[in-house]
Amino acid sequence: MTKYREILRLKSLEFSERAIANTCHVSRNTVSKVLRRANELNISWPLPDDLMTDDVLEEMFFPKQNTTSANRRMPDYAYIRKELLRNGVSKKLLWIEYCEECRMNNEEPLMYSRFCYYIQKEEEKRNATMHIPRKPGQQIEVDWAGDPAHIIDPDTGEITEVWLFVGVLSYSQYAYVEGFLDERQKNWIKAHIHMYDFFGGVTPILIPDNCSTAVNHHKSDWYTVALNTTYHEMAEHYNTAIVPARVRKPKDKPNAEGSVNIISKWITAALRNEQFFSLAELNAAIKEKLRAFNANSFQKKEGSRQSLFLGEEMPLLAPLPATPFEYAEWKVATVQFNYHIAVDKMYYSVPYQYIKNKVDVRITDTTIEIFYKHNRIASHRKLTGRSGQYSTVVEHMPENHQKYLEWNGDRFRQWARQIGTNTYEVVNAILTSGRVEQQSYRGCMGLLKLAEKYSKAKLEAACKKALTYTNSPSYKSIKNILITTADSLETEPEHEEPVKAQGITRGARYYGGKR
């Protein structure tokens, strides 16, 4: 603001306009204009009590025109703010539309510069910030640092980027930092587990960034935030509530954002000239730098992050659970027609009633759990080794499939012995006819089922007759005998002595020889 009082005071001391301009850091034209206006209003130094401020003098010397008079239309700030969010919409375009509306309503529009000025002032009011006092032990803010560190492969010289996880207690600003090879969810969860161990306790609130490892963006909207299932499980395990920061609202977690910048100087920049050949080596160096960072004194208040944490915040942290959280990955799978699901090229059974349904699969290092509509329907020990292995629970199979599991050679032999000795011989011959015993199970089953259709006596007789022709009859030959000679078989004695099979021979007379 122009120093009106000082200009009038220096003029009373008979300073030249050039000297007044140099002293008050204004132009000579401004000095001349102010003095001329003071003469017109008959105002001189010393000033009366009601004119002792520059604001009052400015309003008297150069009163502002009322830009909000009836013939001027002010912009619709809510509409402009909404439209500027749309792709391709600019202030210039909105001003042109605004001018057109003013002309249609016989109103005088603002010039483009004033139009932009009022919009800027309105945005400044909206961007006002408020300091929120934090309570000790109340919340933790987490984020990934922007600038990565690096490690070098000692064999190939290849440089790999390492991403830094940062966790900060909001009250004491006590920080935790650890490097990871990627920002995927497994490392995201692992970083939280290590952070809680480092702090030695848990806060009721956890504030992460609105990243994909924390929030399921497909199920979230502006009003409701859907957390990733694994992240939500971790929060339940540590009894904490996750409140993600809003998109493009870094002030929702200012301590983490500020610590990221400071840590970039204290750790990433400080280690820029050192070479590390493994992630463990880099994290050991980060740990040393982090210890110095937390112990360093504050610039604008007494103590350090470490002293504030140990003295005021650590006693208020909730205790850690008895065991650390076990990372679990969630997937969606479809139950196949063989009532199994595929997980990492391994197959796990579920009850056959869920065939063709989609199920949720929880995968840990040791266990596979399967859920349908949040109810667990199956659990398996995780398979390892060669791909293509099956883990099958008998109770998951249909009843007829369970019976098939009971099929074996001894069971068929025992079943056949209950019918008769000839049936036993035929079944035994069928079981030994193939290279693999299991190939003959269907034939044995079909043969023994014929007793239900024709009776055990007829099946025994048919087997006896078939054995007179060959030592290895088949299911089909027995079935043909029953179809063609079922009635005659029924009249044969049930306990007839077995006749030794013999071939048909021609005597010597047939060939013209002597008897």
| 72-109 pLDDT per residue, tens | 788 888 888 888 878 788 899 999 999 998 888 888 88
Predicted pLDDT of residue 436:
67
Amino acid at residue number 280: A
**Mean per-residue pLDDT of the chain:** 82
User: pLDDT at residue 320 above 90?
Assistant: yes
Nearest alpha-carbon partner for 59 in 141, 112, 22, 4: 4
Pairwise pLDDT comparison (162 vs 439), residue with the higher score = 162
Q: Are 103 and 109 in contact (CB under 8 A)?
A: yes
- How far is residue 170's CA from residue 21's CA, in Å, rounded to a whole number? 50
Which residues lie across from 241 on neighbouring strands?
205
Of 221-235, 248-262, 264-278, 313-327, the range with the lowest mean pLDDT is 248-262
Residue 205: which of 169, 180, 151 has the closest Cα? Answer: 169
pLDDT at 237: 92
Query: Distance (Å, rounded) from C-alpha 320 to C-alpha 239?
Result: 9
Q: Which residue has better confidence, 236 or 126?
A: 236
d(CA 375, CA 372): 5
Whole-structure pTM value: 0.52
Among 76-80, 300-304, 483-487, top mean pLDDT goes to 76-80
CATH for the 139-316 domain, from 3.40.630.10, 3.30.420.10, 3.40.50.720, 3.10.180.10? 3.30.420.10
Summarize the confidence of residues 317-330 as an average pLDDT.
89
Q: What is the pLDDT of residues 409-434, one digit of tens each?
A: 888 888 899 999 999 999 999 888 87
Report yes or no: 462 and 477 within 8 Å, Cβ to Cβ.
no
- Residue 92 CA neighbour count, 13 Å, CB half: 1
The pLDDT > 90 percentage for the chain reads 27
164 contact partners, CB below 8 Å, separation of at least 6:
144, 145, 148, 149, 177, 178, 179, 180, 263, 267, 268, 286
Separation of alpha carbons 259 and 108, rounded Å? 51
pLDDT at residue 227 above 60?
yes
| Residue type at position 62 | F
What single string gives the DSSP state of each residue in 351-391? -GGGTT-EEEEEE-SSEEEEEETTEEEEEEEPP-SSTT-EE
Residue 376 has φ and ψ, to the nearest 5°, of -75, 125
Does the pLDDT value for residue 3 go beyond 60? Answer: yes
Residues near 187 by beta carbon (within 8 Å), at least 6 away in sequence: 165, 180, 181
Assigned token pair, 327: 């990372």
Which single residue is written with the structure tokens 């139950």? 335
